[in-house]
């Protein structure tokens, strides 16, 4: 059960949450620094402010109140505030929720969608291994092995390169890793039918829903979300 913060902490956490939700980068930056200075736990700042702010952003995106521009801005706020908090996380002994390998598949150099997902995955505490763009299938397989990944995420913006996702899935099966990882895919040309055809666990073009599904997988695996 979450600890209830005292009134001063609750106020600053709510204000940070609102800054993220309202894509107020300067306000979020200032308040995160103030919270750290006042002794607020980095874990609380992440889970009770930043992560909850991104949930609000996701809801606004779902109802059409926010668009891609706001998602990009919110993602940048997450990245900026987590960069401030990262040096303090070791002291707080925060365990990552799970490890995710992510990349844009071979032949595609687009990274906006992938980068948004990466930043939203970091918000609730995932350990994200970003392979970048134009990633060959063997690099996905090697990363799964090297990092003992729980989840593999693939992105593409082009119909021409979508089949590369199927090649990654086939290769993961060939090397005997398919049972060890969940596979999630996304991108403008990707449909549920395509995801079912190549045998992935989930397909979505909504970064927030993707993160929610990843959280669900980790909870099912560990029985708890820290």
Q: Quick check: is 108 in a domain?
A: yes
Do 142 and 62 share a structural domain? no
CA 61 to CA 70: how far, in whole Å?
A: 8
Which residue is it, tokens 């666990």?
201
CATH number of the domain to which 79 belongs = 1.10.1240.10
- Per-residue pLDDT 10s for the chain (226 aa) are 445 455 589 999 999 999 999 999 999 999 999 999 999 988 889 888 998 898 898 888 878 999 888 988 988 898 899 889 878 866 555 567 899 999 999 999 988 788 888 888 888 889 999 999 999 999 999 999 999 999 999 999 889 999 999 999 999 999 999 999 999 999 888 999 999 999 999 999 888 889 889 999 998 887 655 4
* Boundary of a domain, candidates 92, 111, 139: 92
Q: Quick check: is 143 in a domain?
A: yes
Do 29 and 137 share a structural domain? no
Do 132 and 110 share a structural domain? yes
- Which range of residues forms the domain containing residue 165? 99-222
Q: Quick check: is 22 in a domain?
A: yes
Do 70 and 18 share a structural domain? yes
Cα dist from 140 to 44, 87, 132, 177, whole Å: 33, 28, 11, 11
Q: Quick check: is 1 in a domain?
A: no
Do 86 and 125 share a structural domain? no
pTM: 0.74
Which residue is it, tokens 């607020």?
40
> What torsion do the CA atoms of 88, 211, 148, 98 make, to the nearest 10 degrees?
40
Count: domains in the chain: 2
Do 208 and 137 share a structural domain? yes
Do 197 and 107 share a structural domain? yes
Do 179 and 144 share a structural domain? yes
Contact 206, 54 (CB under 8 A): no
Give the number of other CB atoms < 10 A from CB of residue 100. Answer: 28
Q: Quick check: is 144 in a domain?
A: yes
């Amino acid at each position: 059960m979450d600890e209830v913060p005292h009134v001063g902490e609750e106020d600053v956490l709510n204000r940070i949450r609102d800054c993220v939700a309202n894509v107020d980068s300067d306000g979020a930056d200032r308040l995160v620094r103030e919270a750290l200075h006042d002794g607020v736990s980095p874990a609380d700042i992440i889970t009770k402010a930043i992560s909850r702010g991104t949930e609000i952003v996701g809801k606004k995106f779902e109802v059409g109140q926010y668009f891609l521009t706001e998602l990009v801005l919110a993602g940048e706020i997450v990245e900026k505030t987590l960069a401030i908090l990262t040096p303090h996380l070791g002291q707080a002994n925060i365990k990552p929720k799970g490890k995710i390998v992510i990349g844009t598949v071979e032949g595609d150099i687009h990274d906006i969608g992938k980068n948004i997902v990466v930043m939203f995955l970091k918000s609730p505490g995932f350990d994200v291994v970003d392979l970048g763009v134009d990633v060959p299938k063997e690099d996905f397989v090697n990363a799964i092995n090297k990092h003992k990944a729980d989840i593999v995420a693939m992105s593409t913006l082009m119909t021409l390169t979508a089949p590369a996702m199927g090649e990654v899935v086939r290769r993961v099966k060939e090397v005997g890793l398919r049972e060890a990882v969940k596979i999630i895919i996304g991108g403008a040309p990707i449909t549920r039918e395509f995801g079912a055809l190549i045998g992935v666990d989930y397909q979505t073009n909504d970064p927030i829903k993707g993160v929610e599904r990843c959280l669900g997988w980790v909870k099912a695996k560990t029985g708890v979300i820290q």
